[in-house]
Amino acid sequence: MAEGFTPETTAAVATARQQTLGDLLRRTALRVPGKAAVINGDTTLTFSEFDTAVNQCANALTARGLVKGDRLALVSHNCWQFATVHYATARLGVVLVPVNFGLGAEEIAFILDHSGSRMVVAEDALVPTVAKAMELSGLADATRGYIAMGATAPAEGWENVDDWISGDATAPAVAVADDDPLRLMYTSGTESRPKGVLLSSKSLISQYVSCVIDGGMAGDDVEIHSLPLYHCAQLDCFLSVDVYLGATSIILPAPDPASILETIESRKVTKLFCPPTVWISLLRHPDFDHRDLSSLRKGYYGASAMPVEVLRELSQRLPDVSLWNFYGQTEMSPLATILLPHEQLERAGSAGRAALNVETRVVDDEDNPVPTGEVGEIVHRSPHACLGYYNDEEKTAAAFRNGWFHSGDLGIIDADGYLSVVDRKKDMIKTGGENVASREVEEAIYLLDGVAEVAVFGVPHPKWIEAVTAVIVPKEGVTLTEEQVDEHLAGVLAGYKRPKYVVFADALPKNPSGKILKKDLRVRHADIAG
The DSSP string of 74-106 is EE-SS-HHHHHHHHHHHHHTPEEEE--TT--HH
- In the chain, domain spans: 20-176, 202-424, 432-524
- pLDDT value, residue 25: 98
Q: By mean pLDDT, which of 274-278, 377-381, 460-464 is the weakest?
A: 460-464
Average pLDDT over residues 442-451: 92
Percent share of the chain, pLDDT over 70: 98
**Pairing state of beta strands 36-40 and 322-328?**
unpaired
CATH of domain 202-424: 3.40.50.12780
Task: Report residue 191's pLDDT band, with 50, 70 and 90 as the boundaries.
Answer: very low
- For residue 396, pLDDT beyond 70: yes
397 CB-near residues (< 8 Å, 6+ apart): none
- pLDDT value, residue 190: 42
Average pLDDT over residues 281-291: 96
Percent share of the chain, pLDDT over 90: 80
274 CB-near residues (< 8 Å, 6+ apart): 226, 227, 255, 260, 282, 299, 300, 301, 514
- pLDDT value, residue 102: 87
Tell which phi-psi region holds residue 68, choosing left (phi > 0), alpha (psi between -120 and 50) or beta.
beta
- For residue 425, pLDDT beyond 90: no
CATH topology of domain 20-176: Rossmann fold (3.40.50)
Reported as a single tens digit per residue, the pLDDT across 30-80 is 999 999 999 999 999 999 999 999 999 999 999 999 999 999 999 999 999
Q: Do domains 20-176 and 432-524 have the same CATH topology?
A: no
- For residue 463, pLDDT beyond 90: no
- pLDDT value, residue 431: 85
Cα 322 from Cα 241, distance rounded (Å): 18
Residue 203, Cβ density class (10 Å: 0-12 exposed, 13-18 middle, ≥19 buried): buried
- pLDDT value, residue 28: 98
Task: Report residue 505's pLDDT band, with 50, 70 and 90 as the boundaries.
Answer: very high
- For residue 108, pLDDT beyond 70: yes
Average pLDDT over residues 86-113: 95
- For residue 1, pLDDT beyond 60: no
Average pLDDT over residues 254-262: 97
| Mean pLDDT estimate for the chain | 93
Cα 192 from Cα 118, distance rounded (Å): 24
Task: Report residue 465's pLDDT band, with 50, 70 and 90 as the boundaries.
Answer: confident
Q: Which residues of 276-307 are buried (b: 16+ CB within 10 A; e: fewer)?
A: bbbbbbbbebeebeebebeebbbbbbbbbbbb
Distances (CA, A) of 22 to 32, 278, 382: 17, 31, 22
CATH topology of domain 432-524: GMP Synthetase; Chain A, domain 3 (3.30.300)
Model pTM?
Answer: 0.85
Cα 380 from chain centre: 18
Cα 326 from Cα 324, distance rounded (Å): 6
Task: Report residue 438's pLDDT band, with 50, 70 and 90 as the boundaries.
Answer: confident
